[in-house]
Amino acid sequence: MTSRTIVALSGGVDSAVAALRLLQTGHTVEALHMTNWTEDEDGYCTAADDWQAARAVADALGIPIHRVSFAAEYRERVFAEFLAGYAAGQTPNPDVLCNREVKFGACLEYVDRLGGDRFATGHYARLADHPSGPRLLRAVDANKDQSYFLQQMPRSALARAVFPLGDLPKPEVRRLARAANLPVAERPDSTGICFIGERPFREFLGRYLPAAPGPILTPEGEELGQHEGLMFHTVGQRGGLRIGGRKHHADLPWYVAAKDRARNALIVVQGGDHPLLLTREFRTTPLTWLTDPPPAQFVAQVQIRHRQTPVPAEIRWDASGATVSVHEPLRAVAPGQYAALYQEDVCLGGAVIG
């Protein structure tokens, strides 16, 4: 029986070229377009345009396309946790959650219903064979590498995943799309996440979480102004504080150093290298492993945000989580962010910073 590969066709150039490369390498390919957000009160979400673009790509490639909505699953498993994180003063990452709960969760289950053997996406990441199971590797294009966003995917999904773009730089993806006359060859890359789109983040979040104004304080307790809600700010943020220059303070920019939920206060400091912005050790929630679990204490590289340069660290972990001690201070470590662990190009897994 011929194996079938289902490709997640989003309507963008990356997933289109992923489907193209699968066809060129002899796969039997079908497309699956998923909709994860249905509320579009003001036109910021591009779900309708994305569907039309995905259909056009499927027609151009001559492959069947299926359409499914995971809006309910997204709202329950991703968006609810996103809101809870912000309400708790954290900085959650819904893209990591979406990959775990929807793309390699609910969507992979739907691939089974379609009779698919493999599931391909346009992620910039690579897979490598290993005796204990496939390993998730960084993409060749370091600027586009998306393994950070895949750190929480179920390990079992690695055996069925296909990432056709992992060995390509982004300009080559565009070139291949043009050479194949794909209708999305010049379509701009999407930015942000669909349920926010290009709308102002504060405006969107304010629709779901009530404003809770409070003081903006220095670490010494001096009040400099008022914020509209802790959820509108993140650790390391510069700008948007509306506190300007102050007498008896240096002529340096202000940065968010912490959120004090007990006082509903935003703590700010001056200078991007202020000690309160630098962290040498932090705790995480229980780890998700994409490899066999390593020893209870080991050395790895840790990455706390997309495109951040990973830094060497000592990891001490158990079932309750990990203590990560970095060799050089990390700037703007925020609770709720994900910390991904690597050894060379191999993503070991990761966890939420506590």
In this structure, is residue 165 part of a structural domain? Answer: yes
Q: Which of 34, 11, 7 is nearest to 21 (CA)?
A: 7
Specify whether 321 is located in the same domain as 341: yes
Mean pLDDT score, 318-346:
97
What's the structural domain count of the chain? 3
Active site residues: 98, 194
pLDDT of 239 reads 84
pLDDT in tens, 138-162: 999 999 999 999 999 999 999 999 9
In this structure, is residue 15 part of a structural domain? Answer: yes
| Domain that residue 118 falls in | 4-179
User: Residues of the chain with pLDDT > 70: what percent?
Assistant: 95
Mean pLDDT score, 56-83:
96
Mean pLDDT score, 336-345:
97
The mean of the pLDDT values for the chain is 94
Specify whether 75 is located in the same domain as 169: yes
Mean pLDDT score, 84-113:
95
Specify whether 247 is located in the same domain as 283: no
In this structure, is residue 250 part of a structural domain? Answer: yes
- What is the C-alpha R_g of the chain? 22
Whichever domain contains 74, its CATH number is 3.40.50.620
Specify whether 19 is located in the same domain as 132: yes
Give the range among 161-165, 204-208, 257-261, 314-318 with minimum mean pLDDT.
204-208
Q: How confident is the model at residue 107 (pLDDT cuts 50, 70, 90)?
A: very high
pLDDT of 280 reads 97
**Residue with the larger pLDDT of the pair 202 and 245:** 202
In this structure, is residue 200 part of a structural domain? Answer: no
22: three-class secondary structure by DSSP: helix
Contact 120, 132 (CB under 8 A): no
Burial 336-347 (b: 16+ CB within 10 A, else e): bbbbbbbeebbb
Contact 354, 342 (CB under 8 A): no
In this structure, is residue 295 part of a structural domain? Answer: yes
Mean pLDDT score, 58-65:
98
Give bridge partners of residue 192 from the DSSP assignment: none
Q: Specify the DSSP class assigned to residue 149.
A: G
Specify whether 329 is located in the same domain as 214: no
Whichever domain contains 345, its CATH number is 2.40.30.10
Q: How confident is the model at residue 212 (pLDDT cuts 50, 70, 90)?
A: very high
Q: Which of 317, 253, 327 is nearest to 285 (CA)?
A: 317
pLDDT of 13 reads 98
Specify whether 19 is located in the same domain as 89: yes
Cα separation of 182 and 169, whole Å? 18
pLDDT at 76 over 50: yes
Mean pLDDT score, 195-219:
86
Mean pLDDT score, 282-293:
98
- Cβ neighbours around 156 below 10 Å, total: 10
Q: Of 218, 247, 272, at which residue does a domain stop?
A: 272
Order across the sheet with 265-270: list the strands: 223-227, 214-217, 265-270, 254-260
Q: Of 255, 272, 289, at which residue does a domain stop?
A: 272
Specify whether 256 is located in the same domain as 331: no
Specify whether 162 is located in the same domain as 245: no
Cα separation of 33 and 35, whole Å? 7
Tokens of 81: 């946790």
Contact 334, 90 (CB under 8 A): yes
Specify whether 172 is located in the same domain as 250: no
- Cβ neighbours around 198 below 10 Å, total: 11
Q: Specify the DSSP class assigned to residue 230.
A: G
Whichever domain contains 253, its CATH number is 2.30.30.280
| Residue that is written with structure tokens 């209870």 in the block | 296
In this structure, is residue 185 part of a structural domain? Answer: no
pLDDT of 38 reads 76
DSSP string, 158-222: HTTEE-TTTT--HHHHHHHHHHTT-TTTTPPPP-S-TTTTTS-HHHHHTTTS----EEEE-TT--
Q: How confident is the model at residue 250 (pLDDT cuts 50, 70, 90)?
A: confident
pTM: 0.93
In this structure, is residue 190 part of a structural domain? Answer: no
In this structure, is residue 189 part of a structural domain? Answer: no
pLDDT of 202 reads 84
Q: Of 252, 272, 292, at which residue does a domain stop?
A: 272
pLDDT at 218 over 90: yes
Specify whether 105 is located in the same domain as 237: no
Specify whether 220 is located in the same domain as 113: no
pLDDT at 1 over 50: no
pLDDT of 34 reads 95
Specify whether 301 is located in the same domain as 164: no
**How far out from the chain centre does Cα 195 lie?**
14
